[in-house]
Amino acid sequence: MSFKLFFLLLKAAGWTLSISLVSILLGFALAIGLSAVLLSSKRLYRAPAELFISFFRGVPLLVQLLFIYNLLPFIGLNVPSVVAAIIGLTLCTAAYQAENLRGGFESVPRGLIEAADMAGFSVRQIFLRIKVPIAMRLTFPALVNEAIMILKSSSLVSVVGIVEVTKMAQDLASSTYLPIELFSSAALIYLVICWSIALIGRYTERALPGGVK
Amino acid sequence: MTLPAINVKKLVKRFGTATVLQDIDLEVPEGKVSCLIGPSGSGKSTLLRCMAFLEESSEGMITVNGEALGFFENARGERERLPAAQIRAVRSQIGMVFQQFNLWPHMTALGNVSEALKTVHKVPKTEAEDRAMAQLKKVGLENRANHYPSQLSGGQQQRVAIARALTLSPKIMLFDEPTSALDPELTGEVLNVMRDLAAEGMTMVVVSHEIGFAATVGNQISFLDQGRLLFTGAPADVFAKPRHPRLEQFLDTYLDRGASMLV
Ligand SMILES: Nc1ncnc2c1ncn2[C@@H]1O[C@H](COP(=O)(O)OP(=O)(O)OP(=O)(O)O)[C@@H](O)[C@H]1O
Ligand SMILES: [Mg+2]
């Protein structure tokens, strides 16, 4: 297999990486909002968030992507397929990350909050200075896992017309008749990216002040 | 007769249908050490938590230096909740030390002690840290200022927790079994800090199974049993024989570590 083919795969990996990264970050921002709603004591607020989450966790990502890709033009939004792909991945990962974060917020030991309460912290100060940093620490390993899951799931966005690593390997395989070489190269690219994410995750975890408990 | 630092009147606390505290009347004298003793589940923590307003009482009143805590009695004699700002102001006179230390794991010892000054009181960083450092020095931990809780022993963590409460200059310090999560060889360093604090004239309420500490440092001992305050008195009177049969039974069951020699 020529270097030129591998280079084409690497270029496609740029799409894999960028779409995944953007989706994970947007998903995280959305997940914070969702988890806050999930923690509300009012059923009325919780219900839509719960519905959202059970939908995106219960429907295959492939179906979600096809659905969003076809729905957007239908409601008059003509967006590039990369936007449709990012929306799909973002909504999906937001659902999982929101559940993680909710678990994290719920696991912040009550005593730590009571200590802040006794020290005169407002509800907002307790949220920002105590709950958020501790919940982040508690959920960090799950967040790294989710990043890896999304990176791998991004192979599905080829159905909305994005030529990322998997699709590029497929296309090249059918034109060059080198499927074994191409798919093993694609696998290697995924492995290296996922290892790097895991490594960065572990390093960050150790570097967090006070350590992850 | 001076005003009691904390005055608990006809306090009742229920969790659901279970009555955990029944008709508690207790005066905590200013500048003295009051100890709460009693069997497990008798309601000691709950009473202390009511004094900190971490738990809302079901009936009765608590005043702190004469000011109502949490609830007051309105003109029609009904119990009414005070506005949040007022609750906050009264509570700011109280510091609390927990059995599990409850240090914030993502902050250093210095961070834990200075955090409320910075966040709540908007004290500039350097001044807050100077004041926090002075408190750490007081509990003998100035050389551990930059350690995270996970890097400190239990005894050190509890001393940081005491320093954290003290930086806010409380008038009253509440301790809920401050040494019972510690290995026996670490209890001494925490009890010594508490002794120093008592000697400075801090008003303290201490829930403890350390009967020896209660008998030697305590000025007033209250014995709780099944949610009722059976009696309150000076250590010499409370521990003098003949004792109340429930206290006798409690001491038989709970006294060890040679504390029986003290009382
Ligand atoms: N949040 C709660 N909900 C329901 N019941 C509670 C709650 N907190 C305490 N209780 C009950 O109230 C009673 C008194 O508990 P408390 O913790 O005050 O006892 P304690 O004297 O401090 O015991 P220990 O020596 O074991 O700490 C117990 O029966 C306990 O089960
Ligand atoms: Mg207790």
B149 touches chain A (CB under 8 A): yes
How many folded domains does chain A comprise? 1
B146 touches chain A (CB under 8 A): no
pLDDT of residue B22: 95
**Average pLDDT, rounded, for chain B:** 92
**At B220, phi and psi to the nearest 5?**
-145, 135
Strands lying side by side in the sheet with B33-37: B94-97, B172-176, B203-207, B33-37, B220-225, B228-233
**At A75, phi and psi to the nearest 5?**
-95, 15
Interface mutation target, options B64, B106, B135, B174, chain A, most CBs of A under 10 Å: B106
pLDDT of residue B259: 54
Do B191 and B206 touch, CB atoms closer than 8 A? no
Q: Using CA positions, which residue lies closest to atom 18 of ligand 1?
A: B43
Interface mutation target, options A118, A126, A212, A213, chain B, most CBs of B under 10 Å: A118
In a domain, A58, yes or no: yes
% of chain A with per-residue pLDDT over 90: 78
H-helix or E-strand containing A162? Answer: none
* Radius of gyration of chain B, Cα coordinates, nearest whole angstrom: 19
The pairing of strands B59-64 and B67-68 is: antiparallel
pLDDT tens digits for A23-73? 999 999 999 889 989 988 888 989 999 999 999 999 999 999 999 999 888
Q: How far is the CA of B149 from the centre of ligand 1 (A)?
A: 27
In a domain, A212, yes or no: no
Say how far apart CA B263 and CA B240 lie, in whole Å.
Answer: 8
In a domain, B148, yes or no: yes
What do you get for the CA distance between the two ends of chain B, in Å?
29
Domain that holds residue A99: 3-207
In a domain, B75, yes or no: no
Domain that holds residue B117: 103-169
The closest alpha carbon to A161, from A40, A57, A25, A69, belongs to A69
Residue in this structure with the two tokens 């200013």, named with its chain if needed: B30
- Kindly provide the ipTM of the predicted complex, given to two decimals: 0.92
CB contact under 8 Å between B107 and A210, yes or no, is: yes
Query: What's this model's pTM, rounded to 2 decimal places?
Result: 0.86
Residues paired with residue B67 on neighbouring β-strands, in sequence order: B64
pLDDT tens digits for A160-208? 989 999 999 999 999 999 999 999 999 999 999 999 999 999 998 888 8
pLDDT of residue B243: 82
In a domain, B130, yes or no: yes
pLDDT of residue B116: 97
In a domain, A19, yes or no: yes
Q: How far is the CA of B101 from the centre of ligand 1 (A)?
A: 18
In a domain, A181, yes or no: yes
B224-259 in b/e form (b: 16+ CB < 10 A) is bbebbbbbbeebeebbeeebeebbeebbeeebeeeb
Say how far apart CA A24 and CA B8 lie, in whole Å.
Answer: 54
Chain A residues with CB under 8 Å of B169 CB are: none
H-helix or E-strand containing A203? Answer: helix A179-207
B52 touches chain A (CB under 8 A): yes
Do A81 and A162 touch, CB atoms closer than 8 A? yes
pLDDT tens digits for B38-62? 999 999 999 999 999 999 999 999 9
B242 touches chain A (CB under 8 A): no
Say how far apart CA A142 and CA A97 lie, in whole Å.
Answer: 8
Chain B residues with CB under 8 Å of A205 CB are: none
Positive or negative torsion for Cα B242, B247, B253, B258: negative
CB contact under 8 Å between A115 and B98, yes or no, is: yes
In a domain, B126, yes or no: yes
CATH of residue A76's domain is 1.10.3720.10
In a domain, A131, yes or no: yes
Regarding the beta carbon of B95 and ligand 1, being less than 6 Å apart is answered: no
% of chain A with per-residue pLDDT over 70: 98
Ligand nearest to the CA of B50: 1
For residue B216, the tally of other CB atoms under 10 A from its CB is 15
In a domain, B98, yes or no: no
H-helix or E-strand containing B204? Answer: strand B203-207
Say how far apart CA B12 and CA B10 lie, in whole Å.
Answer: 6
CB contact under 8 Å between A129 and B119, yes or no, is: yes
In a domain, A177, yes or no: yes
How many folded domains does chain B comprise? 1
Q: How far is the CA of B43 from the centre of ligand 1 (A)?
A: 6
Diameter of chain A by CA atoms? 70
Ligand nearest to the CA of B14: 1
Let me know how long chain B is.
Answer: 263
H-helix or E-strand containing B220? Answer: strand B220-225
Helices A81-106 and A3-38 pack at an angle, to 10 degrees, of: 50
Ligand 1 atom closest to Cα of residue B47: 18
